[in-house]
Structure 1
Amino acid sequence: MSSPNNWDADSEGRAAKLLRKSRDAPFVPIGMAGFVGLVGFGLWRLRSRGAVKMSVHLIHTRVMAQGFVVGAMTLGVIYSMYKQYLVPEDPSRPSK
């Protein structure tokens, strides 16, 4: 019986796995970073929101962050479609 601490058959660490997946889909970490950045910006702007209600300010912050993530995902899909369909593959180059 295997030990409960060694449940992962992969010897790859979390950081290496994140870097490998970032190379495969570069728009995912861009979307995550943009989301965190916009939420941080919204919270920073919270102190000088003026007469705007807090709930409205938080909704606007959420919509901005979600819009950035959806935009990054859309660009990622467009980029992958471009690579798959529009760029001719060189048959002499070995595949990965």
Structure 2
Amino acid sequence: MAQSAPPPFDPSHPPVVEGFTPSAYQSREETFKDKFLRKSRENPLVPIGCLGTAGVLTYGLICFKRGNTRQSQVMMRARVLAQGFTIAALMVGVVITAMKPQK
């Protein structure tokens, strides 16, 4: 008796693994909004820093357009500080996430 070739891989069906029973729980696809909210809850300082940076930049550009160059320069320096805060918050979040035990 000749052995027949195994069926080709079918991506619509998971492979059958002997001794493994998939759980009944099917995880749903995480949407952008869900992921954004989850990440914001994990590290709330990053969105705060982003909003602060955008606000300072906007106010600095408004001052520049009005001709208030001194205030515009102060706001651009404040923007750099806000960006630094955001990067620092991001790094702290990465370190905390790396130190958490895996589930």
Normalised by the length of structure 1, the TM-score is 0.52
1:2-40 per-residue CA deviation (whole Å, 9 max, x = no partner) reads: 6xxxxxxx7111111111000000100001000111111
Preserved contact between residue 38 and residue 65 of structure 1 (Cα < 8 Å): yes
**Which residue of the partner structure matches residue 55 of structure 2?**
37
TM-align CA RMSD: 3.5
- Using the alignment, how far apart are the partners of 2:49 and 2:29 within structure 1? 27
Q: Which runs of 5+ in 1 are unaligned?
A: 3-9, 82-95
Q: Displacement, 1:46? A: 1.4
Q: Give the number of equivalent residue pairs.
A: 70
Q: Aligned pair in 2 of structure 1 residues 75, 16: CA closer, same or farther (>3 Å)?
A: closer
Whether the 8 Å CA contact 1:27–1:73 is kept in 2: the answer is no
- Structure scoring higher RCO (CA < 8 A, sep ≥ 6) equals 1
- For 1:25, the equivalent position in structure 2 comes to 43
CA contact (8 A) 1:31 1:69 kept: yes
- CA distance in 2: counterparts of 1:27 and 1:73, whole angstroms: 10
State how far apart, in whole Å, the 2-side matches of 1:39 and 1:24 are: 26
Bigger radius of gyration:
2
| Alignment counterpart, residue 82 of structure 2, candidates 49, 64, 68 | 68
